[in-house]
Amino acid sequence: MSDRYYPNYCDGQKISGESHFSVINPATEQLVGYAPTSTDTEIEQAIASAKTAQIDWAARPDQERKDLLMAVAEKLQGESAALAKLITEEQGKPLCPLGSPFEMQAAIGWTQVPASLDIAPEIVFEDETRKDVLHYQALGVVAAIAPWNWPLMIAIWQIIPALRMGNAVVIKPSEYTPLATLELVRLLNEILPAGLVNSVTGAGDVGQKLISHPDIDKVMFTGSESTGVKIMQHCAPNVTRVTLELGGNDPAIILPDANPEAIAEGLFWGSFLNMGQTCACIKRLYVPESLMDEACDALVKLANQMPMGNGLDEGIMLGPIQNKMQYDKVMSLIADAKQAGGTVLCGGESPSGPGYFVPVTLIRDLPDTARLVTEEQFGTALPILSYPDDDLEQAIHRANNSPAGLGASVWGTDPDQTESVAARLNAGTVWINQHGAIHPMVPFGGAKGSGFGLEFGVEGLKAVSQPKIISRNKA
Ligand code: NAD
């Protein structure tokens, strides 16, 4: 087989598969490589292998698990240049510092932190008659279902805390971006015991078979809300636990005392990190009328300065949309926004030639009912919406008026006012004068339709654990 065929791993062995699907570079529409389409038998074998390996893994001392995960972080550091290039080829994000090298550094950081954390048993009640202690122990086999936007980083978010707590994992990456994850699984298998991390690949049907299996104890799902609904349905018959990290439609509110020029760069990358294909990107920007022109000018200026192209080329800051389906969706939202009376400040038309490129498209004067406002665009298009300077209530109401509630942000100079607006925004995370600034020690999860359950930090470890009370009779 050529080195363009990336195998799965089961019980520490390569599984080359009977049939394959192709993975396309979204900047060139050329082939990057092939991943296997996992069969039902291979899915069964992956789960069985994880189930067996988990027993020994959970019995090992904590420190041994922590040391092995630290060795994984070191391995990733050593392989980060090669992995970053592969991420750029299959996902599209550039090789610039905010692109695939950033994804690799995040993957390493999100490995080191869970590897260094402990959950101490907690005495929840004690008197002269009894003592009750809360422990967290392994659940068993965790199924990880990952999306295509930050394929390797999100795979790490799902795999490492699960391993830290003594679980084994079967991961199914997105069918659009499986290759870097398969490389990751190969590297994990060089360090960890056989069978602890297994992969299966294919489309949603492979994911469905995996999570519906009775030997799956927990599903870590990151993806769209519509798939999240199906995940819950598939998990219900076996009462399988599930964490759902779903889509967002994050609002950002600029307050009248803000300086648009000073915050423009934060707003720009808050909106367009990974070409806007980030769950917690700014997807609706609310600006006081008096600052509208200045804010729009500052953002247009930045948009015009950012080179877009094939992420392997020097100096490129923005790449393509990751796949044709998403490209069509972003273009249809832009077309709808034009029809709805929006003023296109920049972008709006896709260049000819190969690749799913959508230039940064900033649109003002849109009604709140436009699809670009009500739906998650997940791409390089942003509605800039005005509100009266003396009616902040209106901005808060419109920002909260969405079924999604992943993130939100407020931008201003008065600490009391920014804090009081933050308290009223209904989201899992509200940032002040930044957006999307996640950290491996800080719990992250959605409100409303953006899902439930937390990742990162100690809360993230609890999410892949079984809480257990041991209650002693002292009498
Ligand atoms: P998606 O829902 O289309 O696919 C996600 C994964 O689910 C893929 O691996 C897919 O093959 C699998 N899948 C599809 N149907 C399935 C089924 N019936 N059973 C089991 N698995 C199934 O999502 P996507 O388009 O890959 O990702 C983009 C979405 O993910 C956006 O909405 C984005 O906001 C969201 N996202 C959320 C977070 C977060 O932390 N909240 C992070 C990143 C992305």
Average pLDDT for consecutive 10-residue bins of the chain (475 residues)? 86 96 98 98 98 98 97 98 98 97 98 96 98 98 98 98 98 98 98 98 98 98 98 98 98 98 98 98 98 98 98 98 98 98 97 96 98 98 98 98 98 98 98 98 98 98 98 95
Conformation bin of residue 17: beta by default, left when phi > 0, alpha when psi is -120 to 50: left
250 lines ligand 1 (CB under 6 A): no
447 lines ligand 1 (CB under 6 A): no
**Could you say which of 96, 279, 281, 296 is catalytic?**
279
Ligand 1: nearest atom to the Cα of 228: 2
Query: Measuring CA to CA, which residue among 375, 320, 393, 418 is closest to residue 25?
Result: 320
Ligand 1: nearest atom to the Cα of 146: 9
Backbone angles phi, psi at 141, to 5 degrees: -105, 125
Residue 279 Cα to ligand 1 middle (Å): 10
Residue 146 Cα to ligand 1 middle (Å): 6
245 included as an active-site residue? yes
pLDDT at site 3: 80
Query: Measuring CA to CA, which residue among 337, 392, 394 is closest to residue 366?
Result: 337
Residue 131 Cα to ligand 1 middle (Å): 43
Ligand 1: nearest atom to the Cα of 176: 26
406 lines ligand 1 (CB under 6 A): yes
Helices vs. strands in the chain: H and E counts, helices first: 15, 22
101 token code pair: 């090298």
C-alpha of 1 from chain center: 32
What span, in angstroms and rounded, lies between the C-alpha atoms of 206 and 192? 25
21, 149, 356: which to mutate for ligand 1, most atoms within 8 A of CB?
149
Residue 145 Cα to ligand 1 middle (Å): 7
Query: Measuring CA to CA, which residue among 286, 296, 293 is closest to residue 255?
Result: 286
203 lines ligand 1 (CB under 6 A): yes
Burial class (CB in 10 A: 0-12, 13-18, 19+), 146: buried
CA torsion 385-388-391-393 (nearest 10°) is -10
148 lines ligand 1 (CB under 6 A): yes
pLDDT at site 475: 86
456 lines ligand 1 (CB under 6 A): no
Give this prediction's pTM.
Answer: 0.97
Indicate which residue's Cα is closest to atom 9 of ligand 1.
174
Provide the 3-class DSSP secondary structure of residue 317: coil
157, 279, 429, 439: which to mutate for ligand 1, most atoms within 8 A of CB?
279
Ligand 1: nearest atom to the Cα of 174: 9
Percent helix, strand, coil in the chain, to 5, is 40, 25, 35
pLDDT at site 120: 92
Note the maximum CA span of the chain.
80
What type of residue sits at position 197? V
pLDDT at site 2: 59
What span, in angstroms and rounded, lies between the C-alpha atoms of 405 and 445? 9
281 included as an active-site residue? no
388 token code pair: 């009266």
H/E element, 205:
helix 204-211
Ligand 1: nearest atom to the Cα of 175: 11
End-to-end CA distance of the chain: 69
What span, in angstroms and rounded, lies between the C-alpha atoms of 278 and 369? 23
11 lines ligand 1 (CB under 6 A): no
Indicate which residue's Cα is closest to atom 8 of ligand 1.
174
Indicate which residue's Cα is closest to atom 43 of ligand 1.
279
172 lines ligand 1 (CB under 6 A): yes
What span, in angstroms and rounded, lies between the C-alpha atoms of 441 and 455? 9
User: CB-based contacts of 168: which residues, under 8 Å, 6+ apart?
Assistant: 50, 51, 53, 54, 57, 140, 141, 142, 162, 195, 196, 197, 198
pLDDT at site 1: 44
435 lines ligand 1 (CB under 6 A): no
